[in-house]
Amino acid sequence: MNLIVTGKNNEGQAPLLRVLPFRGANTKLLLKVIIGALAYVSVFAIMLAAVSPKRYDLKAGDIATESIRAPRDVENKIATQRKIEQAKQSVAPIYRLNQDVKVETVEEVNKIFEEIRIIRGLANQRLKEWKDKQGAAMPQQQSSEEGAIPEDEMQQNNEGSQAEETGQKDMYNVAKGEIDYQQVFDKQFLEQLKGHMSVELSNNELLACITADEAEISQLQERLVEILISLLDLKIKEDNLLEAKNTLRNEILTLPISNELRLVSTTIGLTLLKPNMVYDHEATEAEREKAAQSVEKVIYKKGQYIVQDGQPVTEEQIAMLKELGLLKDEPFDVPLVAGLGLLILSLEIIGIIYIHHFERELADQPHMFILISLVVCLTLGVSYGMSVVSLYFMPVALAALLLTVLMKPKIAFFVNVLLAILVGIMTRGQSGVMVTGLLGGMTGIFIAHRSQHRNGMFLAGLGASAASALSTAGYELIVSGSWWAALRSSLWSGGSGVLAAVLTVGTLPVWENVFGIITPIKMIELSNPNHPLLKRLMREAPGTYHHSIIVANLAESAAQAVGANGLLARVGAYYHDVGKLVRPYYFRENQFTVENPHDRLNPTLSTNIITSHAKDGVKLAQKYRIPKVIQDFILQHHGTTPVIYFYHKAKNNNKDVKLDDFRYTGPKPQTPETAIVMLADTVEAAVRTMPDPTPGKVEGLIRKLIKEKLDDGQLDECHLTLKDLDSIAIAFKDVLCGIFHERVEYPDVDLKEGRDEGNDGGN
């Protein structure tokens, strides 16, 4: 197992990373930092829970039975916070002058007086209409006074005439020329006038505005503006607004105008007067924060008494004891925490350095860091739980077995060493546990590395059990000299290996699915001919199955020649053409008669049928739960290559056809393994059509086909070098010699010329 095989999608992310909110190259470093921090915190929490000592059992109000000193400088946070709050409260609120208030107030005054002039105009019109009406009634009144009125008629109309004369005298005295404005401007009319005003005035105030001289109105407007401006220049705040209004009243009382107009101006002024000093919350808070930062912390120095013997414990003292981790319900001892934290940090840094120098391929796979972290945390957590039963029953070999299968033996060995150190700390320096974990894990790694079946994991667990038992027995005999103690401890130690194997086999499918890892064990299972999908391929499309077997042989040989994953290439080749199960008889290798269904179809439709087998294959693979990394072979094994046969056929009928219309949808191969399967698929199909194959001709055709793929850009994204392509060609030639089957001979089409024609047509 030389390579880590992960199920990457088209964007290069494993299934687990698709649910994380991280995208792009710039976030990979951030993701690694977060993973490292979470791993550190998780390991630290488990270790701290295992090694934390007991402390004082105290609460506020208890009487201390002994004096407690501060083991280091500690802040009295409650007292410090109290001083901070006092400093904040000492800062006076900050206001800023709003110049717009003055301008707005003057505009409002002018607006109101314009409204007053409007209602004065309406009132004058009403008064003129009334005077005209009264003027028309005067001659009739005079003639009635000059004529003789019979005594009986006067007596009959006495009451009505008396009432009419009384009303006329109240409204308009002709002799004196006086007007009763309350009769002329009745309540209904005044209510109409109020609708023209933006400020609410009483009826008397409206009458005062109507009956006043224009000079008085203008003087009142001017003086009111002056008073308001003078008050606003004094900078009015919300808390002294009442005082400003009282000043306004006093100023208005000194004006040389009638009392009615004073009331009007008072109403208008009080309505419009408002603070122009606005509370500046941000500036105030900034000053308060500045004052808070200037407060010196209340510090208890190292050695100073926090709690005195025989004295009640206060809330502040309890807070400091919590800060120091000296309470029983607070599992934090600062020196212990600091030392443990530094030790774990050192081990993590060593791990990072190791990966950076010796496992650089992991740098672009953040999900593998998550995998390592989870495996370590799982091993530590289970070991901590099993330590209750026996210190030797801790399955330290669990991480070694899992990482051997999921990643690499070298990584598993390194992590096993780190875990042995951590377990030794967890057991407070029990060297026997460290030796047992180290030797048992090493033995498990050696056996698991050579296992390609799940049953091999149990064999690896038994090997780890044997190594652990022997090392434990030897250590106990050296330390205690007791045969019984050595036997008992070795039995527990042997059980830890079995437990590690059980947990490995039980959780392995979870790791494979969550992290998209296809292990050699999983690949062996997928390559089994009894797999349901392969059985369907063998039964329903035997020609395709036989073709896939040959392609698998070619791909594995070529992958091994260039240092790629041969087993992965073989399994990918087994499944690369499963999409042909949807329409098997439209593919030449499955046609057992001379009749070809494509002879009845136009080239475009035939191309659509042929190219659809890639996407059809992915759907079938998903249905049968084939891992994503194998689905990539199905989708990418043709890349964006054109279907040359039908392109040539269509071009004979129509010179204007475009090559791009006859291409697969892709994507192009993203890994060396998928590219090798593409080349193997193409070479196997083409070599079968050779009428007189010889090794020289076979090699010449292979190199020609590889060059066509290279020229067509199909190998641009798979990181294969020209040297690799030469090695692949040689490997193909060695396998293909002597293996030929009849196929339709592929026309010799210049891909560069066809692609140029397609581009010209598109332009």
How far apart CA 197 and CA 116 sit, in angstroms, is: 7
Domain co-membership, 572 together with 699: yes
Collapsing DSSP to helix, strand or coil, 736 comes out as: helix
Domain co-membership, 612 together with 685: yes
Inter-axis angle of helices 334-358 and 26-51, nearest 10? 140
The total of other beta-carbon atoms located within 10 Å of residue 485's CB is 14
The bridge status of strand 277-279 relative to strand 299-300 is unpaired
Which pLDDT score is estimated for 633? 92
Q: How many domains does the chain have?
A: 3
Sequence-distant (6+) residues with CB within 8 A of 692 are none
The answer as to whether 310 is a domain residue is: no
Domain co-membership, 241 together with 190: yes
Claim: this prediction has a pTM higher than 0.95 = no
Alpha carbon of residue 747 to chain centroid: 52
Sequence-distant (6+) residues with CB within 8 A of 742 are 688, 689
At which of 485, 517, 549 does a domain end? Answer: 517
Domain co-membership, 503 together with 541: no
| 680, amino acid identity | A
Question: Which parts of the chain register pLDDT below 70?
Answer: 1-26, 52-55, 71-72, 130, 134-184, 186-187, 191-192, 195, 302, 329-334, 363, 451-456, 593-594, 738-763
Which pLDDT score is estimated for 140? 52
Residue that has been written with the tokens 């505005």 in this structure:
209
Q: Looking at residue 615, which CATH number applies to its domain?
A: 1.10.3210
Domain co-membership, 590 together with 471: no
Q: In this structure, which long-range contacts are made by residues 700-708, counting pairs with CB atoms below 8 Å and at least 24 apart in sequence?
A: 702/729, 702/732, 702/733, 702/736, 703/729, 705/679, 706/679, 708/751
- What backbone phi and psi angles, to 5 degrees, belong to 325? 70, 30
How far apart CA 486 and CA 475 sit, in angstroms, is: 8
At which of 517, 541, 564 does a domain end? Answer: 517
How far apart CA 89 and CA 38 sit, in angstroms, is: 41
Domain co-membership, 252 together with 201: yes
Domain co-membership, 474 together with 389: yes
The answer as to whether 284 is a domain residue is: no
Question: Where do the DSSP E strands lie in 277-406?
Answer: 277-279, 299-300, 305-307
How far apart CA 408 and CA 361 sit, in angstroms, is: 12
Secondary structure letter of residue 69 according to DSSP: E
The answer as to whether 407 is a domain residue is: yes
The answer as to whether 73 is a domain residue is: no
Asked if 461 contacts 402 with a C-beta cutoff of 8 angstroms, the reply is no
Domain co-membership, 106 together with 234: yes
**Maximum distance among all Cα pairs of the chain, rounded to whole angstroms:** 158
Sequence-distant (6+) residues with CB within 8 A of 140 are none
The total of other beta-carbon atoms located within 10 Å of residue 200's CB is 9
Alpha helices in 427-482 (DSSP H): 431-449, 455-479
Which pLDDT score is estimated for 1? 40
Domain co-membership, 726 together with 596: yes
How far apart CA 61 and CA 197 sit, in angstroms, is: 69
CA 21 to each of CA 17, 27, 28, 31: distance values in angstroms, whole numbers, following the listed order: 8, 10, 11, 10
The answer as to whether 162 is a domain residue is: no
Q: Which of 508, 548, 555, 557 is nearest to 529 (CA)?
A: 548
Q: Which of 644, 641, 669 is nearest to 725 (CA)?
A: 669
The answer as to whether 290 is a domain residue is: no
How far apart CA 748 and CA 763 sit, in angstroms, is: 26
Question: Which value, to the nearest 10 degrees, does the dihedral of the CA atoms of residues 735, 738, 743, 745 take?
Answer: 90
Which pLDDT score is estimated for 676? 94
Domain co-membership, 675 together with 723: yes
Domain co-membership, 375 together with 475: yes
How far apart CA 543 and CA 102 sit, in angstroms, is: 94
Q: What is the DSSP string of 291-324?
A: HHHTSPP-EEPTT-EEE-TTSBPPHHHHHHHHHH
Across the chain, how many H-helices and E-strands are there?
Answer: 31, 8
Domain co-membership, 671 together with 712: yes
The answer as to whether 217 is a domain residue is: yes
Q: Which of 366, 358, 406, 373 is nearest to 5 (CA)?
A: 406
Question: Which value, to the nearest 10 degrees, does the dihedral of the CA atoms of residues 411, 413, 419, 425 take?
Answer: -130
Asked if 368 contacts 4 with a C-beta cutoff of 8 angstroms, the reply is yes
Residue that has been written with the tokens 């193909």 in this structure:
732
The answer as to whether 152 is a domain residue is: no
Which residues make beta-bridge pairs with 642?
Answer: 663
At which of 260, 277, 294 does a domain end? Answer: 277
The domain containing residue 737 runs over which residues? 527-762
Element (H, E) at 178: strand 178-179
Alpha carbon of residue 371 to chain centroid: 21
